[in-house]
Structure 1
Amino acid sequence: MVHTVVAGFDGSAESRAAAEWAAREAKLRGLPLKLVHVWEPVPEPIAQAPLLGAETQQHWSERIPREAAEGLRLRHPGVDVTVEQISGRPGEVLPRVAKDAELLVLGSRGLSGIGGFLVGSVGQMVVAHAGQPVVLVRAGEQATDEHAMDPAGIPSAAAPFRPVVLGLDTDNPHDAVIEFAFDAALRRETALLVVHGWNPPPYFPYGLPADSEFEAELGRQDTAALAEVLRPWRQKFPAVEVVEQSRSGSPANHLVDASREASLVVVGRRIRRSPLGAHIGPVTHAVLHHSTAPVAVVAHG
């Protein structure tokens, strides 16, 4: 079975940005790219309306994805780009189509005036249910956004990649999340910044005077725990420069701060079988909505 990179495509600006990112990622991985256009059947009474003729429907369901694929082939020579069109609900179809893919890429609107994403209901549903890694890309994301400044101080795709950022929970580290981040840094020939946020025990702030030495000791213990988790991965990926960052405070805030200088942010999502439905988790949810770099969400058990 040939693995692919799959990008959800509907013709919008955000899906076009996602397709461009997916093409660059496919080239890094040496994989083909599949654009998946999911169209929802129009209810019969509306389908018969004169404003929705056969020509208009064919334009959106066939011509736009085909032309997008042709443009991607020209801009990313060597990447095999195909188009698949499926009828159904995007939030249900995309995770199913991508179950054998290496990753699924989706677009998300940028928040006007504020750095970060606006993750719609389809994106949240796909992230919450997909078994494969899902990458969210903002509308307007360009190749230069992932790279450092050139000697002239201008962002350039010819300059080295910015670091990959990994949000790591040292209490429950998961191999799939860590390996994805190390592999992404290796392919980009860039550093991996591992971010872990920690807080004092819940009883510490209540009725107790501030103890800077105690908090410093907690910080040293957390730094040691982070180093211990990463030790075997440093050995497995010796070519990747690893920068460890253990800081007191909200993990989500630290990751959002780090995203401003990142090419990619990697976070995890626990697979939960709950009668109330799947959940993304508070840290991942916050990073998805406020990161200024593309975000990869890696599902784990």
Structure 2
Amino acid sequence: MVRPITVGVNGSRESLAAVDWAAEEALRCGLPLRIVHAWEVPPAKGDQEALPELQVPRYWARRILRGCADRAAERFPQVVLDAEQISRPPVPALLAESGSAELLVLGHQGLGGMAAAFAGSVGEAVVAQARRPVVLVRADGDTARDVPPGAGNTVAPRGVLVAVDPSRAGDDLLAVAFEAARRRGASLMVLYAWRPAEGHGAARRKAGRREAVQALGALIDPWRDKYPTVELRAQVVQDRPAHALGAAARDASLVIVGRRIRHSSLGSHTGRVTHWAMHHVHCPVVVVAHS
């Protein structure tokens, strides 16, 4: 089954940026693009169909979807396009769409203001539950385009960054990262932020760093043979994970982080580093669920 690149839209600037990113990714991957707008349409009976309070929201819902589809078709005419209005609340609708998508792409506002908190709540709820990769794109962020297929551009694309913890990282996370770098012809930096326990002396810290380097090497060595064309850089940083990620992300065109699948209903389902990346990294962020 061919999985599309699916993008959820709501008419915001962020969702327009998400449409552009998703369409370019669909072109790069040779996959169809699916645009969905989820809105729970109130049921109407008989003469209620003509009520303005029902007609106006329906009109704007159709206009949002049509505008995003027209934008994608005009900018990326080579991409096979499908658009659908879904009469369900956004979170369950997008979760259902993510199950059959290669990627689910959403606009995201990061931090700031009540509007941002409301819009971000949909993205965060989807990320916390989706089993397929979810990409968050910001309208005010760094969305400098990678070199698109056939562009004839000789400028090297900016790199892909993936943050890992060798004790927890799964194959799904690295597979997404290596594929993203391969498709873009970009370098891949694998970042492991390591911190020694409090009270460790210089000798113990040195031994701990050596162990961290060995652990990262053992994690990525099997992938070198699978992706020989990907320029790979491994970096072990003695720092707080979020701080190290923020510094490294300044030079990245795409940041990839993991989310461990949790079955408990208590606590965060994204993790502190992933949550930080969602709100503070300005380039598109891919969140990959893994066991």
Question: What TM-score, normalized to structure 1?
Answer: 0.85
Q: Which residue of 2 aligns with 1:15?
A: 15
Q: Which letter maps to 1:284?
A: T
- In structure 2, what is the Cα distance between the partners aligned to 1:17 and 1:145? 11
Q: Which letter maps to 1:72?
A: A
SS at match of 2:2: coil
Q: Which residue of 1 aligns with 2:250?
A: 260
Structure 1 contact 17–141 (Cα < 8 Å) conserved: no
Deviation at 1:160, TM superposition (A): 2.4
SS at match of 2:288: strand
Deviation at 1:43, TM superposition (A): 8.2
Q: Which residue of 2 aligns with 1:231?
A: 221
Unaligned runs of 5+ in 2: 148-152
SS at match of 2:38: strand
Unaligned runs of 5+ in 1: 148-156
Question: What TM-score, normalized to structure 2?
Answer: 0.88
Runs (4 or more) in structure 1 with deviation over 2 Å come to 40-44, 47-53, 56-59, 140-147, 157-160, 211-214, 275-278
Structure 2 contact 33–79 (Cα < 8 Å) conserved: yes
- In structure 2, what is the Cα distance between the partners aligned to 1:245 and 1:65? 42
- In structure 2, what is the Cα distance between the partners aligned to 1:7 and 1:109? 15
Structure 1 contact 268–298 (Cα < 8 Å) conserved: yes
Name the count of aligned residue pairs: 280
**Deviations 1:1-50 (CA, angstroms, capped at 9, x unpaired):** 22100000111111110111000111111000100100123488xx8997
SS at match of 1:135: strand
**Are 1:188 and 2:184 an aligned pair?**
yes
Q: How do residues 1-301 of structure 1 correspond to structure 2 at under 5 angstroms?
A: 1-42=1-42, 52=53, 54=55, 56-111=56-111, 120-141=120-141, 144=144, 146=146, 159-201=155-197, 204-205=198-199, 211-276=201-266, 279-301=269-291
Deviation at 1:132, TM superposition (A): 0.6
SS at match of 2:15: helix
Q: Which letter maps to 2:178?
A: F
SS at match of 2:3: coil
Aligned identity (percent) is 42
Deviation at 1:58, TM superposition (A): 3.5
SS at match of 2:53: coil
- In structure 1, what is the Cα distance between the partners aligned to 2:154 and 2:7? 24
Q: Which letter maps to 2:158?
A: R
Q: Which letter maps to 1:238?
A: P
SS at match of 2:286: strand
The CA RMSD over aligned residues, in Å, is 2.4
